[in-house]
Amino acid sequence: MKLMRYCLSPNKLAWLRQELGEHADELIAAMDKAGSHYLAGLAESQAGDLSAADSQLKFQWFQQKLALTTRLTDAELANLTPLSLVDIRGEIREEMREEMRVEMHVKLVTPDTLATALQQLSSESVLGFDTETRASFEPGVQHPLSLVQLATSDTCYLFQQTVLGERLAELKPLLENEQILKVGIGLRGDGQALKRDWDIQVSPRLDLNWAMAQLGAGKEMGTRQLVAALLQKRIDKPKKITLSNWQQVPLSQAQVQYAALDALAANLCFWQLIDKLQGFYGKETVGSKPILPPSLAARLASYFHPA
């Protein structure tokens, strides 16, 4: 439990590290250990109200929020296993609970395969969603949207504008389908680009940064922190790839993997978030106060399975 990192502001943590130098991490770890020990004692106590189910539930929820919203340091991120297209994960769907090896696939959509891809994606209830646009290094110059990534739990479809041309507009019914949730990380720019270039209003959509903010994250967590918190993996974001030419044909293997992992990670993160919140959905504390923030519970209600 990273109690102190959650409770202290980034400025306070930076000050603590500056003042204590090489001893800062040891002190923070000791404070975390002491705080965690005290809270665990409260949860296990048999005295008075502390033994009530209400107290247990609140303590469990506090632990879950800490785990989800506490940012990892660069050193901690570096120690995580990279997320790859062949990965180990725990299936969250009830009928497939055992951990299994999942090979995640990438399909580069062509004019000949476009209709099939759209048909397959239309059968999903949730799609990981992201876009890429060629970076501009000239003031006032803005390139059109280059790539749209849509991912199921194990397959990412890449729709490149330079390959599909005007047929990219055929994504409109799918991206505006109210029965399919599009989930991603930092979606404002992606939505604006599709509206500007193709008159596509992506809806409904869920930004995972917003979801984590409802749980108490102090600022936008971003892809690297979300993947670490929810998947216990590291996703690398090299600027050489981020700022590369997304209009080139063919895309490099590094570009393909980078783009696909972003959308796949969004899908996986969403379902892991549902899994971690499932046990708290519909639960209330004394006074009928709901455990989950009402705004978040309302958005996610249809994705929780019955108790």
Give the closest residue to 77 by CA, choosing from 282, 208, 236.
236
Q: Could you tell me if 260 and 148 lie in one domain?
A: yes
> What is the per-residue pLDDT for 230?
96
pLDDT, tens digit (0-9, with 9 covering 90-100), for 159-200: 999 999 999 999 999 999 999 999 999 999 999 999 999 999
Q: Could you tell me if 32 and 106 lie in one domain?
A: no
If you write DSSP's letter for every residue of 205-260 in order, what string do you get? EEEHHHHHHHTT-SS--HHHHHHHHHHS-B----HHHHTS-TT-SSPPHHHHHHHH
Residue 92: what are its φ and ψ, rounded to 5°? -90, -15
User: Domain range holding 96?
Assistant: 86-276
Q: Could you tell me if 145 and 237 lie in one domain?
A: yes
Q: Could you tell me if 156 and 260 lie in one domain?
A: yes
| DSSP label at residue 289 | E
> What is the per-residue pLDDT for 92?
40
Q: Could you tell me if 20 and 132 lie in one domain?
A: no
Last residue in a domain, options 37, 61, 78: 78
Does the pLDDT at position 234 exceed 50?
yes
Asked if residue 94 is part of any domain, the answer here is yes
Q: Give CA–CA dist 32/26, Å, rounded.
A: 10
Q: Could you tell me if 195 and 272 lie in one domain?
A: yes
Does the pLDDT at position 21 exceed 50?
yes
Q: Could you tell me if 92 and 179 lie in one domain?
A: yes
pLDDT, tens digit (0-9, with 9 covering 90-100), for 192-201: 999 999 999 9
To the nearest 10°, the Cα dihedral for 122, 83, 67, 219? -70
Q: Could you tell me if 107 and 254 lie in one domain?
A: yes
Banded pLDDT at 16 (limits 50, 70, 90): low
Asked if residue 283 is part of any domain, the answer here is no
pTM, two decimals, is 0.84
Task: Please name the amino acid found at residue 161.
Answer: Q
pLDDT, tens digit (0-9, with 9 covering 90-100), for 71-99: 898 999 999 999 998 764 444 444 433 44
